[in-house]
Amino acid sequence: MENNTLDIIVCIKQVPMVSELPWNSKTGTLKRELAQGMMDPASRLALEAGLRLQRAGQSQDRRIRVTALTMGPPMAEEVLHQAVSLGADHGILLTDRKMAGADTNLTSFILGRYIRMFKPDTGLVLCGAQTSDSETAQVGPQLACELDFPAIGWASDIRLTQNALVVTRLVDDFMETLEMDLPGLVTIDLGAFVPRYAGLAGVAQAFASPKIDVVDADDLELDRNFNALEDSPTRILDVFSPATQKESRVLKGAAKTVVDQLFADYGKIISSAMGKDLKKK
Amino acid sequence: MDFNPCMKHQVVRKTVREFAENEIGPHAASLDREGRFPTEIIEKMGPLNYFGLQVPPSLGGAGLDTISYAIVIEELSRVCAALGLCVSVHNSVGLYPILRFGTDEQIARFVPDMAAGKHIGAFCLTEANAGSDAGGVETTAAKTEEGYTINGTKIFVTNGGVCDVVLVFAVDAGGKEQSRPNVFIVEKTCPGFSVGEIEDLCGMRANPVSSLFFEDCRIPETNLLGKPGQGLKIGLTALDTGRIGIAAQALGIAQAAFEAALSYAKERQQFNSPLTKFQTIQNYLADMATSIESSRMLLYRAAAAKDKGGDFGAQAAMAKLSCSATARTVTDLAVQIHGGYGYSREYDVERYFREAKVTQIYEGTSEVQKMVIARHLITRPS
Ligand SMILES: Cc1cc2nc3c(=O)[nH]c(=O)nc-3n(C[C@H](O)[C@H](O)[C@H](O)COP(=O)(O)OP(=O)(O)OC[C@H]3O[C@@H](n4cnc5c(N)ncnc54)[C@H](O)[C@@H]3O)c2cc1C
């Protein structure tokens, strides 16, 4: 971190809007080609975390720049405009046919390569803990490895001190507070914040003076034969919706007996849903 | 010619849809039932620039183009048409005339607070004896030493119950019989201004549409908008823009009704199959979708024509005529597809059905739109 300036990169994925997605019941897969894109919800919270640091920085006379970074098809540019509408200083789109089909390993490799080549002074990288479409939670930690950064996952709050970052995370039922030197990487958990809404002036401004750079495989000096789809070490063989078997049980008897039985049989599920162990006073 | 929405317009739509579905949607039915204007939602919308849609950023607005403006009203109305009405009227016939015809002093005095949503605007043309015929206005303005004194009653004023700044059409007091109307900017704080009862309407019940009374209402001389005698021109210009908003509102209602009908038809089973298996229902859905899409094209074309400059009045009238007719037929079919449930308050289509009708009445009835279109056809050089 150079004196009073901090460069933050927020990694944002465009994901299909699943609520509007037709589901092919024969193959059990989502018809992605019909999907509208949206900003992945956890990525949005990572952006929110970055924007809150940016605002806090203003009051402390600290210059904090937030760059939104995404890898995806050309239409993924939309999430960058949304990020700029929300307050990001600019956006970077990594797009190239050669990058298509990258698994989490190659995604992290490409994101990391961009940051090392073009943003070597990055002080903090923020990612969503996991994306709504693949839920691997792998890109954040792998990117930290690429950059050789320390990393903390599943943060629910972050705060800057003069030289470090204080991170709060929920582990089981406990809140944990950690301090991490920068540069570093943090992944933000769903539910960490209520993200802001974009103002319409922000949207108009984002398009009036576009702040998006497009970077391709040549810019990243990827090997001539690089092909993310073929080079990815992991492959998805099948995605299907497992047939669930719902079974109803009717508990009978006096209220106390029924409640006792309920907690005996389902206490674990209930307590994790409520956030505390209800059996213990 | 490219019929695909550009990325900006997609982002505008998604931005408004997200806000509307999260913040307004859960309350739309109860606001209608209670006839309550949601001040708490308006307060959230102000900082997000919903009340200064086409106001330049230097005055605190969003600086959007007209297609974006139409999309905003469409998306708000898809969720809550009464709020769509509030935002449309405020932006188009309340605020826009001040921006367009106001002096620098008037713009500086009124626009920033209106664009921030701190002051809500309204437009008062209609009177007991002046509806479609704007020439029938009987409200008078008398020139005094300090300014003007206004006397008269305006009816059916959208946002009337909550307005802070209103544009009032009035003729010269005691002047020549054929005095041409002027437009005055009246603030609710002006002495002699008061709000009548809120109308008990068929739809748009969350909007406090009311009468406004002007009893020796005194306003400063600097509150005359435009040049003397320019009132009709200001009114017609405002309504041309306003019609794009009302067309967008109608389209939003139609879209909501169509989505509700489609999803209901997929789920509802009769004769051992979903309604979507019946050809008659398929025809309804096809007609609804076709009508919506063709109206949408007319609307965006009118909006684009406004941005290009030049006369867009006939296109705006066509858009309003078409979108409001679409809203009527689509909401009617949506109720039909829902059967008895569609006639129950439990389902939103009943509200859409009540809301759609008025889009064929205000800001010029459908009959008046045809007069505007026909005048354009007949008088334009062949
Ligand atoms: C909810 C609501 C909100 C409103 N908000 C506002 C507002 O904010 N500001 C405002 O000023 N007004 C407002 N209005 C009033 C609205 O604009 C008028 O109701 C509308 O212009 C029609 O006028 P009218 O009701 O007097 O009908 P009339 O003019 O009496 O018309 C009655 C019928 O005769 C037809 N007709 C009239 N003249 C002709 C003709 N020459 N040829 C053929 N047919 C004709 C009309 O189309 C209509 O079908 C609002 C109305 C409603 C219901």
Report pLDDT for A275. 55
C-beta separation of B149 from B221 below 8 A: no
Name the residue facing A200 among B23, B44, B50 (closest C-beta). B50
Chain B residue closest in CA terms to A206 = B8
- Does the distance separating the beta carbons of B57 and A203 come in below 8 Å? no
B66 lines ligand 1 (CB under 6 A): no
pLDDT at A170: 87
In angstroms, the CA A91 to CA A80 distance is 5
Distance B53 CA to ligand 1 centre (A): 26
What are the pLDDT digits (tens) for A7-54?
A: 999 999 999 886 666 666 666 556 666 678 899 999 999 999 999 999
The protein residue whose alpha carbon is closest to atom 48 in ligand 1 is: B365
**For chain B, give me the number of helices (H) and strands (E)?**
12, 10
H or E, element range at B267: helix B231-267
| Residue B1 clears pLDDT 80, i.e. is over it | no
Q: Tokens representing A240?
A: 């299907």
Residue A262 Cα, ligand 1 centroid: separation in angstroms?
A: 64
Q: How far is B55 from chain A (nearest CA, A)?
A: 10
Dump pLDDT digits (tens) for A78-125: 999 999 999 999 999 999 999 998 889 999 999 999 999 999 999 999
pLDDT at B91: 98
What proportion of chain A, given as a percentage, has pLDDT over 70? 88
pLDDT tens readout for residues B72-109: 999 999 999 999 999 999 999 999 999 999 999 999 99
Give the active site residue among B145, B221, B363, B367: B363
- Residue A214, chain B, CB below 8 Å: the answer is no
* Pairwise CA distance, residues B257 & B264, whole Å: 10
Nearest to B101 by CA among B280, B194, B277, B233: B233
Q: Are B101 and B276 in contact (CB under 8 A)?
A: no
Instruction: Identify the H or E element spanning A88.
Output: none
Tokens of B376: 């354009």
DSSP B346: T
**Domain definitions of chain B by residue range:** 7-115, 121-231, 239-379
Which of A77, A197, A199 has its CB closest to that of B7? Answer: A77
* Separation CA A222–CA A212 (nearest Å): 21
Which among A139, A115, A121, A116 has a CA at the least distance from the CA of A232? A139
On whether the CB atoms of residues A227 and A98 are closer than 8 A, the answer is yes
The residue nearest atom 32 of ligand 1, judged by CA position, is: B132
Contact A9, A114 (CB under 8 A): no
Q: How confident is the model at residue A137 (pLDDT cuts 50, 70, 90)?
A: confident
Q: What percent of chain B has a predicted confidence (pLDDT) above 70? A: 99
User: B227: Cβ–Cβ under 8 A, 6 or more apart, which residues?
Assistant: none
CA distance A262 to A270: 9
Residue B362 CB less than 6 A away from ligand 1: yes
Instruction: Check if the beta carbon of residue A121 is closer than 8 Å to that of residue A2.
Output: yes
Give CATH superfamily name and number for B239-379: Butyryl-CoA Dehydrogenase, subunit A, domain 3 (1.20.140.10)
> Would you state the pLDDT for residue B66?
97
With contacts defined as CB-CB under 8 Å, which chain B residues touch A77? Answer: 7
Residue B320 near residue B373, CB atoms below 8 Å = no
pLDDT band at residue A273 using 50, 70 and 90 as cut-offs? low
- In this structure, the number of other CB atoms found within 10 A of the CB of residue A128 comes to 29
Burial class from Cβ neighbours inside 10 Å (0-12, 13-18, 19+) for residue B197 reads exposed
Is A54's Cβ below 8 Å from some Cβ in B?
no
CA distance B49 to chain A (A): 6
Among chain B, residues having any CB pair with chain A shorter than 8 Å are: 7-8, 10-12, 14-16, 18-19, 23, 44, 47-50, 52-53, 57, 61-64, 68, 72
Cα-atom radius of gyration of chain B, to the nearest Å?
21
What distance in Å separates the CA atoms of residue B381 and residue A229, rounded to the nearest whole number?
61
What is the set of domains in chain A, with CATH numbers? 5-231 (3.40.50.620), 245-281 (no CATH)
Structure-block tokens of residue A205: 């401004």
Is the CA virtual torsion B172, B177, B180, B181 positive or negative? Answer: positive
3-state class of A184 per DSSP? Answer: strand
Which pairing describes strands A63-71 and A5-11: parallel, antiparallel, or unpaired? parallel
To the nearest whole percent, how much of chain A has pLDDT over 90? 59
The fraction of chain B above a pLDDT of 90, given in percent, is 95
Please provide residue A80's backbone torsions phi and psi, each rounded to the nearest 5 degrees. Answer: -70, -40
What per-residue confidence (pLDDT) applies to A30? 61
Please report, to the nearest 10 degrees, the dihedral formed by the alpha carbons of residues A50, A52, A55, A57 taken in order.
-70
Mutate to test the interface with A, among B6, B12, B14 (most CBs of A within 10 A): B14
Tell me the average pLDDT of chain B: 96
- HSE-CB at B252 with a 13 A cutoff on CA atoms is 30
Evaluate if residue B27 carries a pLDDT over 80: yes
Nearest CA-CA distance, residue B118 and chain A, Å? 16
- Could you identify the residue written with the tokens 């109803």? A248
Best residue of B16, B24, B49 to probe chain A, by most A CBs closer than 10 Å: B49
Nearest-by-Cβ selection for A204 from B23, B50, B63? B63
Q: Would you state the structure tokens that stand for residue B211, as one six-digit string? A: 């009468």
pLDDT of the residue at A2: 47
State phi, psi for B153 to the nearest 5 degrees.
-130, 130
Phi and psi at B239, nearest 5°, equal: -70, -35
What is the per-residue burial (b if ≥16 Cβ within 10 Å, else e) of B71-91? bbbbbbbbbbbbbbbbbbbbb
- CA of residue B284 relative to chain centroid, distance: 28
Closest Cα in chain A, distance from residue B71 (Å) = 12
Of B197, B362, B368, B375, the residue with max ligand 1 atoms within 8 A of its CB, to mutate for a pocket test, comes to B362
In the structure, what pLDDT confidence band is assigned to residue A271 with cuts at 50, 70 and 90?
low
Cβ contact, residue pair B11, A81, below 8 Å: yes
B20: Cβ contacts below 8 Å, ≥ 6 apart: B75, B76, B78, B79, B80
Taking residue B60's Cβ as centre, other Cβ atoms within 10 Å add up to 21
- Residue A27's pLDDT is 60
What is the total residue count of chain B? 382
Residue A183 preceded by cis peptide, ω within 30: yes
Rounded Cα gap, residues A280 and A35, in angstroms: 47
CATH top-level class for B121-231? mainly beta
pLDDT in tens, A218-262: 999 999 999 988 888 988 887 776 777 778 888 889 999 999 888
**CB A152 within 8 Å of CB A184:** yes
pLDDT band, very low/low/confident/very high, at A281 (cuts 50, 70, 90): very low
The mean pLDDT value for B182-203 works out to: 97
Print the SS3 string covering B14-39. Answer: HHHHHHHHHHHHHHHHHHHHHCCCCH
The answer to whether the CB of B365 is under 6 A from ligand 1 is yes
Q: Give tens-digit pLDDT for B32-41.
A: 999 999 999 9
| pLDDT given for residue A1 in this prediction | 46
Parallel, antiparallel, or unpaired for β A14-16 and A37-39? antiparallel
- B-chain CB neighbours of A206 within 8 Å are 11
Q: Is A180 on the interface with B (CB under 8 A)?
A: no
CATH 1.10.540.10 assigned to domain B7-115? The reply is yes
Active site residue B363: yes
